[in-house]
Amino acid sequence: MINVVLSFDIDAETLWTSRDKENKIGPVMLSQGAYGPKEGIPRILDLLNKRELSATFFITGWVIEHYRSRCEDIVSAGHEVGHHNYNHEWPWRVNADVEKEAFDREMVILKDLLGRTPSGYRAPGWEFSDVTMDLLLNSEIKYSSNFMDSDVPYRHIYKGNKTNLVELPVSWMLDDAAFFMHGLTYGPPQFNPETVLSMWKAEFDALYKEERDTCFILTMHPQIMGRPARMAMLDKLVEYIRKKEGVRFITAEALAEEYRGL
């Protein structure tokens, strides 16, 4: 069984403002992030609705405060929403008190939006500080989706003890930013969507041939994947995968719950 998770990280302007405070005065630079909530999210929700799929969205607290209606649209459509810190600051670049304050602030905002505690956590930049794991284990978070050391979900071992925190592994290979991110502070050339489609199909097919229980977790960003041609590419990939036997689309929360007892 291959478990396919469609996940979207909604950073919007915080992707830039959290890196450099001077970016806050660049309206054109910030407009790159604003494209996500304004244009990308509606296209993503339309595709998910058309294909009758549930996805997982990791949203920063700042985005929820500034684009509340868009976030409510995600919740109303029945999709999962997870913890992505308040302002997308990299945990390892701030002190422990600042990280905890941002973590707790995000939790309060998410509880207000969802009416319950979120299950999952995805760190900005997919990296932990030396206190991140303690924050997670002392919270109500049930899974992390940040590590890159497996193709199969597993429970974390921390300080010699097996915890109940499930890891849903990710990969730069399956992240849209590695292929499409470009702007005033990023310079890589952008890939043709059809090229990325072929690469993601190849990765899926290789996992499929192994004939074992595994996961295929796509990490995408509305300001990146939300462009029309890229959404068309994602739609093609979804239809390609759906034709395979022994494959299911599942939210990160539902997948993690299956591994908590193992």
Give burial (CB, 10 Å; 0-12/13-18/19+) of 204.
buried
Contact between 247 and 241 under an 8 Å Cβ cutoff? The reply is: yes
| pTM listed for this prediction | 0.95
Residue-range domains of the chain with CATH: 2-259 (3.20.20.370)
Note the pLDDT of residue 159: 96
Tokens describing residue 187 = 């310079």
DSSP designation for 22:
G
Classify 163 as helix, strand or coil.
Answer: strand
Burial of residue 206, with CB atoms counted within 10 A of its CB: 0-12 exposed, 13-18 middle, 19 or more buried? exposed
Residue 262 has a pLDDT of 72
| Buried/exposed code over 163-186 (b: 16+ C-beta within 10 A; e: otherwise) | eebbbbbbbeebbbbbbbbeeeee
Given this model, what pLDDT does residue 143 score? Answer: 98
Mean pLDDT by 10 residues, the chain (262 residues): 97 82 73 95 98 98 97 98 94 92 97 97 95 97 98 97 97 95 71 98 98 96 97 98 97 96 74
Q: Which amino acid is located at 262 in the chain? A: L
Question: Cα(239)–Cα(231) distance, rounded to whole angstroms?
Answer: 12
Q: What is the pLDDT of residue 135?
A: 97
Axis-axis angle for helices 68-76, 96-114 (nearest 10):
60
Residue 18 has what pLDDT?
A: 73
Per-residue model confidence (pLDDT) at position 249: 98
CA distance 120 to 145: 7
**In whole angstroms, what is the distance from residue 84 CA to residue 20 CA?**
19
